[in-house]
Amino acid sequence: MDRHLSIGYDHAVRAQVIPPPEYVDKMSEHRRDREIVFDFMGEHDTSPVDLITRRYPGIAILKPFNTCSQICVYCQRNWEIDEVLDPKAMAPKALLKNALSWFDKHKSVGDILITGGDPCIMKDSALGAILEELAKREQIYRIRIGTRTPVVLPMRWTDKLVETISRFHQPGRREIAVITHFEHAYEITPDALEAVQKIRKAGMGVYNQEVFTIEKSRRFETAKLRLDLRSIGVDPYYVFNMKGKEETRRYMVPIARILQERKEEARLLPGLDRTDEPVFNVPKLGKNHLRAWQDHRLVMILPDGSRVYEFHPWEKNIKPVPPYNYIDVPIYDYLEELAIRGENIREYRTIWFYY
């Protein structure tokens, strides 16, 4: 963030960590039952044992460490995190052992994401020990490390951390990939470049997931981020449509806009710069590709202009999940918000054709 009020370049960065008043009110109102109220993605239903989440047949999430180097307002798991850099964030040994042994009984799970909290806030030795355990499982062919440290704590990428992680990256046998989260081109700094290059020189790929908030949904902001990411060695990977979490309504963008961006702005870039995919994370189900018409359909428009989408659950192969109905943000309300931010909304007029 800029130290002084800037001309608005850091707006998306500020919005990421400074919550609006209604968000704070809702959080404090549900201080005691936040685990239930804010579990939008249904983590409780998709967690076979503590510390593991599984929404797809071949993929699982491992959450050994419960804090981050920053806490994002729109994070789907921030209700699980007590404090930034919480000293008691490490999962108890017995729980971790139990979670790791779950992989012995589920041999079809070969791609593991270690994530949020941020595994790179763990001590090198603790992270190394978990990787060592996972590497013993023959079926695990990829371990992804979900971390925002290249952005907010790039000095964390010491030679020792790179060595701790990269010794498990064995081409042809097992891939280690770093999945990070640059949200805005304004976050790309010389320090971040250095951290990314260190990781890449050790042979590991660095991929980016971004969240399509209203602040960064203005024309060409995401296209600029993709361009700058590639220039420092990061592959754009997913753009997440904001979830329907009520407390983050102020951040939300109509699905039509993410599709418009993908079609009209991203297409101006060379293919390598626009390799990512717009997705909608459906509760209990996971990613639906918004460009795939097979995954969702528009079923009605409400009197206030909100479009209602039905997301199909047919990728689910673990247990039956009903279709998910999503009431989107009214496009007109969204355009008015953009106008408040100084945008010429005539430039967005083809938005109505996207669904």
Chain residues that interact with ligand SF4, rule: CB under 6 A: 68, 70-72, 75, 77-78, 116, 118, 148, 181
The smaller minimum CB distance to ligand SF4, of residues 85 and 339, is found at: 85
CA 307 – CA 302 distance, rounded (Å): 6
CA 314 – CA 237 distance, rounded (Å): 23
Element (DSSP H or E) covering residue 27: helix 21-29
- What is the nearest approach in angstroms of ligand SF4 to the Cβ of residue 281? 12
Of how many residues is the chain composed? 355
CA 207 – CA 191 distance, rounded (Å): 17
- What is the nearest approach in angstroms of ligand SF4 to the Cβ of residue 72? 3
Any long-range contacts for 33-39 (C-beta under 8 Å, 24+ apart)?
34/79, 35/79, 35/80, 37/79, 38/78, 38/79, 38/245, 38/247, 39/79
The smaller minimum CB distance to ligand SF4, of residues 89 and 185, is found at: 89
- What is the nearest approach in angstroms of ligand SF4 to the Cβ of residue 181? 6
Beta carbons within 10 angstroms of residue 129's beta carbon: 15
The smaller minimum CB distance to ligand SF4, of residues 128 and 150, is found at: 150
Contact 224, 20 (CB under 8 A): no
The smaller minimum CB distance to ligand SF4, of residues 179 and 253, is found at: 179
Query: Tokens at residue 328, please?
Result: 């989107």
- What is the nearest approach in angstroms of ligand SF4 to the Cβ of residue 321? 24
The smaller minimum CB distance to ligand SF4, of residues 91 and 259, is found at: 91
Q: What is the rounded (10 degree) CA torsion for 67, 115, 210, 255?
A: -100
- What is the nearest approach in angstroms of ligand SF4 to the Cβ of residue 241? 15
- DSSP structure string for 280-345: EEETTTEEEETT-TTTEEEEEE-TTS-EEEEE--TT--SS----EEEEPPPHHHHHHHHHHTT--G
Question: Quick check: helix, strand or coil at residue 215?
Answer: helix
- What is the nearest approach in angstroms of ligand SF4 to the Cβ of residue 54? 18
Q: Which residues pair with 311 in a beta bridge?
A: 296, 324
- What is the nearest approach in angstroms of ligand SF4 to the Cβ of residue 75? 3
